[in-house]
Amino acid sequence: MRRGIALWNPFAEMERIRREFDRLLEELLPREEAGERIFAPTVDVYETDKEVVVKVELPGVKKEDIEVSIRDNALHIRGEKKEEKEEKTETYHRLERVYGRFERVVPLPTEVKVDTAKAEFKDGVLEIRIAKAESAKERKIEIA
């Protein structure tokens, strides 16, 4: 069998980087939908031996304004961060905080037991813990 040398295509690599950059901007920057700003909160996803843990940063959001569901092995987080409105006439020099609806779909890294999901919201961080399905857990096999 003859193996050839694979040629490097710099234009294909630049296109891959552009797509990755576009995806990153899409996640970080709020978008407009029907005149309303929508943003995606930042998340951390990790797993232990027994469970998958997702932490979502939601500063300034009230617990009752958050909705969490699991379907198709993905965690769906949506809600709204309501703007604080005051009647004072103030001169703003910088406006960086984002308000409006938010939505994030987080693919889970392994199969989980949906009925074991638990969520806790504390200090602006939503933590969701879901037990791994038995088929997803690693099991050592003794060699005879």
- CATH number of 80's domain: 2.60.40.790
Element (H, E) at 87: none
User: 64 in a domain, yes or no?
Assistant: yes
Question: What is the reported pLDDT for 9?
Answer: 83
Q: How is the beta sheet containing 36-39 ordered, strand by strand?
A: 31-33, 36-39, 100-107, 74-81, 66-71
Is the alpha carbon torsion for 87, 88, 93, 94 positive or negative?
Answer: negative
Residue 121 lies in a domain: yes
Q: How confident is the model at residue 140 (pLDDT cuts 50, 70, 90)?
A: confident
This model's pTM is above 0.95: no
Domain membership of residue 131 as a residue range: 10-136
Would the pLDDT of 68 be above 90? yes
Structural domains counted in the chain: 1
Q: Max Cα separation, the chain?
A: 79
**22 within a domain of the structure (yes/no):** yes
Instruction: Report if residue 141 sits inside a domain.
Output: no
